[in-house]
Amino acid sequence: MPLYSIDAARLTGRIRELGEIGRDPQGQLTRLAGSDNDRAGRDRLVAWIKAAGLDVVIDRIGNIFGVWRDASSADAEPIMLGSHIDTVINAGIYDGCYGVLAALEVIETLTERGVTPARPIVVAAFTNEEGVRFAPDMLGSLVYAGGLSVETALATVGTDGSVLSDELERIGYAGAVEPGFLKPHAYVELHIEQGPVLEREGMAIGAVENLQGISWQRVTIDGVANHAGTTPMAMRRDAGLAAARVGLFLREWIDRSNAPSVATIGTMRFEPNAINVIPSRAVFAVDLRDPDEDRLQALEAALSDFLARVGREEGVEISVERLARFQPVAFDQHIVAAIEASAKARDLKSRRMTSGAGHDAQMIARIAPAAMIFVPSREGISHNPREHTEPADLVAGANVLLDVVERMVGSGWKGR
């Protein structure tokens, strides 16, 4: 089978154009879910989908779908491709957006070549993948896969006090279709790696075979505020000190375990937050990840035991709220092998790998065979305006996606 290529200029041009939507006067890019900037990005994406001749469908949680159906295969389960276009605060231009725009590019390339697929192909842009404004992250795909009811998700209150259902209505993306209206035959997500492995090893393509489990918890420690100069160290009930001990414990526990687990305390807030007052309260978020469920549970248990211990030793009260919990995901080996085969046919170096970040693919994997394709991220940087992937790598990844989709839409593809 001859190896065709997507339109490199069209793909990279759209990535740059979408990357300009949502910039503030200082040039920072932020498109939080349900915001005015999100609406502007969605509007641009929908315009491109319509221009490609696809049917646009929006479900109740705001997920956007561009559907390419041929009359002879309209009733078959579709191949679904995609990612998300919402961003973090002060973001780069590739995270999520690359996967959505490359999916659209693949469909356009196939239509321009006159391909008649044996089943429909759908480009999906899922709502609130980042979870910055509304928790949890990957919310749109989680609802689509049936892991959270649409009513519960729509009632989610954002960090600014807004309600997701109100914001979707306000920006014009509260659809009428029930999430899950299309059951994918398979799902493939193309994404930048957001890590340093591919670049460091000189690899062009990552065939992602599994994805780490994620545990998010909010920890609240209540002590007693007191004068920083007059209260002896041994007589303090210092919420700040207890919080610091938790961070140190997690690092030391993982170092001793010699496991690939990772732990992060990414947010922390003290009260009364004054330089000369012992903190009466510390509130912080703990992010635990591991590709093995047993190890992740062991890390969660170790944290729970340590919180009880530090509460006794420091004389503080500790409460824990679970924010999100997702098990590790093993992706479909047939799709992973197809990714590797395409890379080899195109003379692209590839390797199998684990995704350290959460993605919509892990949710859709609950209802269909799924896998991911990674391309290199310069210096492993993401969620940052310095996020960058070379145009040649972007095109290479999109071409691999094209090959995999061509194989899947052939009548002989069985998957698992």
Give the pLDDT score at 326.
86
Query: Which phi and psi (to 5°) does residue 384 adopt?
Result: -165, 140
CB distance 85 to 71 below 8 Å: no
**Residue 347 φ/ψ region, left for φ over 0, alpha for ψ in the -120 to 50 degree band, beta for the rest:** left
pLDDT at residue 73 greater than cutoff 90: no
Q: Provide the 10 A C-beta neighbour count for residue 184.
A: 23
pLDDT in tens, 373-407: 999 999 999 999 999 999 999 999 999 999 999 99
Is the pLDDT at 221 greater than 70? The verdict is yes
At residue 415, the pLDDT reads: 55
Q: Helical H runs in 113-218?
A: 139-144, 150-154, 164-171, 197-201
Residue 186: which of 108, 121, 111 has the closest Cα? 121
Decide: 197 and 356 in contact? Cβ < 8 Å.
no
Span 87-145, pLDDT tens digits: 999 999 999 999 999 999 999 999 999 988 889 999 999 999 999 999 889 999 999 99
Question: Could you tell me the pLDDT band of residue 409, with boundaries at 50, 70 and 90?
Answer: confident
Q: How confident is the model at residue 188 (pLDDT cuts 50, 70, 90)?
A: very high
